[in-house]
């Protein structure tokens, strides 16, 4: 017997997607686990159609793999994945900054400084969740100005893979402080009108796997352990 639906009347596919993403972020659906479609559809009180559509979207975003005769497997995040995501995000954010550069006004630069200051205050208080939110706003300040919704969508999806899979409770404070210093350098380059230097900095330093590797291996302990097997 199908249980009463715990979802509201929105697009069922979108609600199922959001439910599964929330479960992944909270660590209730772990990397390496198998998603049972029968059990999940019964739990949510929906047919398999919106569930299948949601899983197809998650597969497109690399969160799961739909395997013939094996079902739906939640993908592991590997160091190679992280390396590739950093290269993609770095290239796209660099391109976005180049496009948005002439649209960045004094008030936008002041906003970047204020957000970075808020991030520093959050880390000094060991409030990683607040740091995380301010960090996304910092980057979105110029991403939104590039006026390329497809670019922004790809970047945001990759960041979900990096940060919400699941959201780790701990953090590497030295990494966050290093990122704050990099943000200060980036804002300085923008304020000086050094378009190419700013774009290169965000690609070749801030989103460089090689530059950030020591921090990445400390933070992504599971991915690091997988690479040693």
> Across the chain, which distance is largest between two alpha carbons, in Å?
66
pTM of the model: 0.86
What's residue 7's pLDDT? 53
**What is the block-wise mean pLDDT of the chain (229 residues), using blocks of 10 residues?**
54 92 89 92 92 94 88 92 97 98 97 98 93 96 97 95 77 94 98 98 98 94 71
Residue pair 45/7 in contact by the 8 Å Cβ criterion: yes
Q: Are strands 64-67 and 71-74 parallel, antiparallel or unpaired?
A: antiparallel
Q: How far is the C-alpha of 174 from the C-alpha of 210, rounded, in Å?
A: 16
Q: Per-residue pLDDT tens for 115-165?
A: 999 999 999 999 998 999 999 999 999 999 999 999 999 999 999 999 877
Region for 154 from its dihedrals, namely left if φ exceeds 0, alpha if ψ lies in -120 to 50, beta otherwise: alpha
User: In the structure encoding, which two tokens stand for residue 97, read together?
Assistant: 């900054």
Residue pair 151/92 in contact by the 8 Å Cβ criterion: yes
What's residue 1's pLDDT? 45
Q: Tell me the domains of the chain and their CATH numbers.
A: 12-74 (1.10.10.10), 79-227 (1.20.120.530)
Q: For residue 179, what are the contacts with CB-CB under 8 A and spacing of at least 6?
A: 119, 135, 206
Across-strand partners of 73? 34, 65
Query: Counting beta carbons within 10 angstroms of the beta carbon of residue 24, is it exposed (0 to 12), middle (13 to 18) or buried (19 or more)?
Result: buried
Closest CA to 167 of 139, 129, 137, 130: 129
Distances in whole angstroms, Cα of residue 4 to Cα of each of 10, 41, 214: 16, 11, 48
């Amino acid at each position: 017997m199908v249980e009463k639906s715990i979802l509201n009347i929105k697009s069922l596919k979108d609600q199922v997607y959001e439910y599964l993403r929330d479960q992944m972020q909270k660590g209730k659906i772990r990397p390496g686990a198998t998603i049972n479609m029968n059990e999940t559809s019964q739990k949510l009180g929906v047919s398999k159609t919106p569930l299948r559509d949601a899983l197809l979207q998650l597969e497109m975003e690399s969160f799961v793999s739909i395997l013939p005769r094996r079902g739906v497997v939640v993908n592991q995040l590997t160091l190679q994945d992280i390396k590739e995501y950093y290269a993609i995000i770095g290239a796209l954010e660099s391109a976005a900054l180049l496009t948005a550069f002439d649209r960045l006004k004094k008030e936008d630069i002041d906003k970047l400084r204020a957000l970075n200051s808020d991030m520093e205050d959050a880390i000094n208080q060991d409030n990683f969740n607040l740091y995380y939110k301010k960090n996304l706003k910092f980057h979105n300040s110029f991403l939104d100005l590039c006026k390329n919704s497809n670019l922004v969508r790809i970047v945001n999806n990759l960041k979900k893979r990096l940060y919400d899979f699941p959201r780790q409770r701990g953090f590497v404070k030295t990494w966050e402080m290093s990122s704050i210093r990099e943000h200060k350098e980036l804002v300085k380059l923008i304020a000086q009108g050094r378009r190419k230097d700013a774009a290169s900095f965000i690609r070749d330093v801030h989103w460089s796997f090689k530059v950030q590797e020591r921090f990445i291996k400390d933070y992504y302990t599971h991915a690091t352990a997988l690479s040693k097997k």
